[in-house]
Structure 1
Amino acid sequence: MPSGPDNTHVIVFANEKGGTGKSTTAVHVAIALAAKGARVACLDLDHRQRTVGRYLDNRAATIKRTGQDLPMPVHATHTAQTEAAFEELWGQLSAGADYLVVDTPGRDDPFARTAAALSDTLVTPMNDSFVDFDLIGQVDPETYKVTRPSFYAELIWDARKQRARADGTTIDWVVLRNRLQHIEARNMRRVQDALGQLAKRVGFRLIPGLGERVIYRELFPAGLTMIDAKAFGQMGLGHVAARQELREMMAALALPEPALPLFADAGAA
């Protein structure tokens, strides 16, 4: 199992279901930390879709094309299938980094399981729906009360126990609740209640995530994020609202971070 410097905080974004905003959130967290002056490395474990890798490649191309001074993490994609190659790449990215941000595939993957066990902060994004909730828990179809944790929650529970036995470290498991605009209010309350019940049983923190906004998808080709205020020129109300969501999410993650003003290098909203 790979290891990195003790002072590198590992943040792993993991969810075996696709379409939850995992990669978009991972990129925004990485850039937000880099904007504070932190040394950030990103590892994309999804060599098929490679969303984080392509996002940051697009960002590097924008920096080269425009000459803008944008915060930019070091990044790499794990394409090999051997444990030795994984350990080597993990070590290279961890060396000298304050944070290692890891994006995992939206499917069961052995390297994703290893990364989860090595995380200091494990983030599981999900949308406000019982389709997504089913990944971590099951509910009664009439009362919507939680009946039992699902396989994935048990997997994370085992990873946390394994890590505690190995080095006494506690993995901070965070379920990040993204908001779907088309979900009606009663269903959102039911999902919230079920998440609250399950959080007490399996020990994750529940925090607000990002909204379902076209803005995020439009930023991908240029590799920009909501942190890059100076690159937008004039920001609309949608940008301002999304930027505030990101600020709230970063605060709720409660990551150990450099004592610098939030988004100081990216300009004020």
Structure 2
Amino acid sequence: MLVQASPGQSGAAHVVVLGNEKGGSGKSTTALHIAIALLKAGQRVATIDLDCRQQSFTRYIGNRRAWARRTGLDLELPAHRCVNSGDTMQVADNEISEFQQFMEAVSAVERTFDFIVIDTPGSDSYLMRLAHSMADTLVTPINDSFLDFDVLGTVDPATFAVTGESHYAAMVREARRKRRQLDGASTDWIVVRNRLSMPGSRNRQLLVGSLKELSFRMGFRAIDGFAERVVYREFFPRGLTALDDLDEATLGTRPSMGHVTAREEVASLLRQLKLPLDERGRRRAANRAEWFAQVDKPLETHDILGA
């Protein structure tokens, strides 16, 4: 069934997968920022949460929907689906149920949306592997430490030279190989460093060097993501992102310099992802922006006569 409905085929949605076997790396935060950025660029975006138990991505989007309803704000929302955990005592039956939900979710949106953004659980599972094999763009957020680097590879404790690859990195390599066999397409794998340490710190220099060395072996791109900022944690209860219009009505307080810096970080991240924006979507976004710019202005005489 997957072969018949591969998102890599012409006319299908571009699949962005957020993956990492370690929790707490910022997958859901990064996933929502990517989805909202795409929506603001006029793209048609669907989202799928495969983290059946934690469901942070689903709650984040639910918070955004509730805050928009409560305040009357025009907050962009993706078409969202969440795969629920199987509730039987049989593991095989649960996997079949979760697989069917996932395939139904993908089939419902892959031909009518420009992008599908998928958040995966922080553990190895059949669904997690399946999503990785479908990815056109794979984003792996890690915290800026060797504790999180361990999800990708191992290093010599004296020289910090890379000595091997991790279980997750090996899984990604196999998923990319299967994708090439399936439709000849390649997966753009991007490792995003979050909770960045101070510029010039020894940890940062060593980690960047190890990531660079491993990237040559594994074929991924390493880029900077989000620093450790309180504003990212504050966004979650209201479902906000750094890309929203962060005024007092939206935030409930006056924006700070941290909000401005967070927006710059997110914009930089999105540029480096190099996602293929559809030109029709760009025009939709431009037309929408123009409409909103004019909607509160009084009509001019020539506008009335021209109508």
So what's the TM-score if we normalise by structure 1? 0.93
State the secondary structure of the residue aligned to 1:229.
Answer: coil
196, 214, 217: which one aligns with 1:198 = 214
How many residue pairs align between the two structures? Answer: 266
Shift of 1:71: 1.1
Task: Output the CA distance in 1 between the equivalents of 2:69 and 2:173.
Answer: 44
| 1:107 partnered with 2:123 | yes
Q: Determine what percentage of the aligned residue pairs are the same residue.
A: 45
Q: 1:122 corresponds to which residue?
A: 138
The amino acid that maps onto 2:64 is R
CA RMSD of aligned residues (A): 2.1
Task: Output the CA distance in 1 between the equivalents of 2:56 and 2:124.
Answer: 17
Q: 1:56 corresponds to which residue?
A: 61
Task: Output the CA distance in 2 between the equivalents of 1:158 and 1:30.
Answer: 26
Q: 1:239 corresponds to which residue?
A: 259
73, 76, 79: which one aligns with 2:78 = 73
- Structure 2 unpaired stretches of 5+: 87-93, 293-307
Q: 2:29 corresponds to which residue?
A: 24
State the secondary structure of the residue aligned to 2:142.
Answer: strand
The amino acid that maps onto 1:93 is V
The amino acid that maps onto 1:255 is L
- 8 Å contact 1:41–1:75 — kept in the other structure? yes
Task: Output the CA distance in 2 between the equivalents of 1:229 and 1:258.
Answer: 24
Question: Which string of whole-angstrom CA distances, capped at 9 and with x for unpartnered residues, describes residues 123-160 of structure 1?
Answer: 10001111100111100000000011111111111111
Q: 1:187 corresponds to which residue?
A: 203
Q: 2:48 corresponds to which residue?
A: 43
The amino acid that maps onto 1:153 is A
- 8 Å contact 2:190–2:273 — kept in the other structure? yes
Shift of 1:180: 3.6
State the secondary structure of the residue aligned to 2:226.
Answer: strand
Task: Output the CA distance in 1 between the equivalents of 2:150 and 2:268.
Answer: 26
- Structure 1 unpaired stretches of 5+: none
- 8 Å contact 1:13–1:22 — kept in the other structure? yes
Task: Output the CA distance in 1 between the equivalents of 2:197 and 2:216.
Answer: 27
Shift of 1:88: 1.1
Q: 1:178 corresponds to which residue?
A: 194
State the secondary structure of the residue aligned to 2:116.
Answer: strand
The amino acid that maps onto 1:204 is F
Displaced runs of 4 or more, over 6 A: 263-267
| 1:250 partnered with 2:270 | yes
Task: Output the CA distance in 1 between the equivalents of 2:101 and 2:258.
Answer: 42
| 1:12 partnered with 2:13 | no
- 8 Å contact 1:4–1:95 — kept in the other structure? no
Larger Rg over CA atoms? 2
